[in-house]
Amino acid sequence: MKFKVMLRGENFNVALDGPVAKLGFYTTRFVEADTPDAAEQAAVDLVRQDSRLQGIVRNAPTDPPMIYLESLSEIPSFDGCPVPGAGYTWFSDDVQDQRAL
């Protein structure tokens, strides 16, 4: 089965274009797996193994970043999908930066 998996990362201390900042992200991965649970794990593994992401994360071992499942859907094919997917949409994850809408 083929799946589109959207993940949300939180508590990522990263150095993007300056000083280290606490950020979160959304990212989508396209994976093939036997079950939805296996698809989620495969997508998380792809993110954890991303050498570009590993190169910018500055978390201490006592303050690990977290990755959560945002959405998962079975899709009929990978036609038109950037398999396995790449890139991140970053947002501020610093509680002090959060503002009520």
Looking at residue 83, what is its pLDDT? 84
Taking residue 14's Cβ as centre, other Cβ atoms within 10 Å add up to 22
Degrees, nearest 5: CA angle 28-48-36: 50
Give the three-class secondary structure for 67. Answer: strand
| pTM more than 0.95 | no
Contact 65, 12 (CB under 8 A): yes
Digit-coded pLDDT (tens) for 53-79: 999 999 999 999 999 999 999 999 999
